[in-house]
Amino acid sequence: MLCSILISFDKSPSKVLIFVKDESPQLEYMLTNEVNKMIELLKEAGFEVKTTSMSGKVLQAGSVSLTPDYKFGDVKADDYAAFVFPCMVSDFAGEEVVNFAKEVVTKGKPVAAQAGGVVILARAGALNGKKYALDAGDDPDFKGGIYSGFGVVRDGVIITSGVCPWISRGTGRQDGTSVLMQTLIDVLNGKISSSKGRYDIVDGQLLVSGQGFVGADEHICLRLKRQ
């Protein structure tokens, strides 16, 4: 009998959950340029997208508003294929959120986080022994991780970006939102392989540091090494 083993992610349910922060000090800008962009890219790729916040209340800033689908306390990790922690110019990470991040990482679910959202993963211990993007200085929560530049870095199923739209606006560095989402989409679609493969920066150019940054519409080529 011929047996074959296909390493892939369970595409059922094909839902992605985005954690939206109530307390963002730049709510209008970040809803417009980060959260809504993430939602749009994921939906265009065929995924069902749900949002959640601690309060579950409508987020309104200027002419932009977003109504979370669920209050955070009501969501279950097993109902989603992947999770996104945007920056929203806030590194808030309450105990409930940190514990949830620990759970999804323990379950081996793909997780994408940007800037302030990367801090949540660090506090959850999810970056220990992992490459990540975000210059966190001497923050002790990042001590066990491997800083790999400020762009977008994938290590297994953990994908991080160190440049959100607000940081991009202030520094001139390229916003990582599109590449972060495209990398998550490719992981979920099995285009870049399993959690046993570890991501390498290729010739200093792939998804990062000051030497290079792959644009949103460029082909992302990955080189994997088996652990």
For the segment 17-48, what is each residue's pLDDT rounded down to a tens digit? 999 999 899 999 999 999 999 999 999 999 99
Residue 10 within any structural domain of the chain: no
Q: Comparing C-alpha atoms, which of 48, 12, 17 is closest to residue 35? A: 17
The total number of structural domains that make up the chain: 1
Pairing state between β 48-53 and 224-226: unpaired
The low-confidence residues of the chain, meaning pLDDT below 70, are 1-13, 193-227
Q: Give the tens place of pLDDT for each residue, 43-69.
A: 999 999 999 999 999 999 999 999 999
Enter the DSSP assignment of 156.
T
**Parent domain of 93:** 15-222
Q: Say if 210 falls within a structural domain.
A: yes
Q: What is the model's pTM?
A: 0.82
Cα dihedral across residues 193, 198, 202, 208: positive or negative = positive
pLDDT on residue 111: 98
- Which CA distances in Å does 107 have to 40, 104, 212? 26, 5, 32
For residues 93 and 182, give the distance between their C-alpha atoms in angstroms, rounded to a whole number: 25
How many residues comprise the chain?
A: 227
What token pair was written down for 133? 């993007």
Given a contact cutoff of 8 angstroms between Cβ atoms, the answer to whether 181 and 187 are in contact is: no
**Confidence at residue 93, expressed as pLDDT on a 0 to 100 scale:** 81
CB burial of 107-136 (b: ≥16 within 10 Å; e: otherwise) equals eebbbbbbbbbbbbbbbbbbbeebbbbbeb
Question: Is 154 within a domain?
Answer: yes
| Helices then strands, each counted (H, E), the chain | 6, 13
Report pLDDT for 193: 56
Residue 88 belongs to domain with CATH number: 3.40.50.880
Indicate whether 133 belongs to any domain: yes
Is residue 1 domain-resident? Answer: no
HSE, side-chain direction, 13 A CA sphere, residue 3 = 1
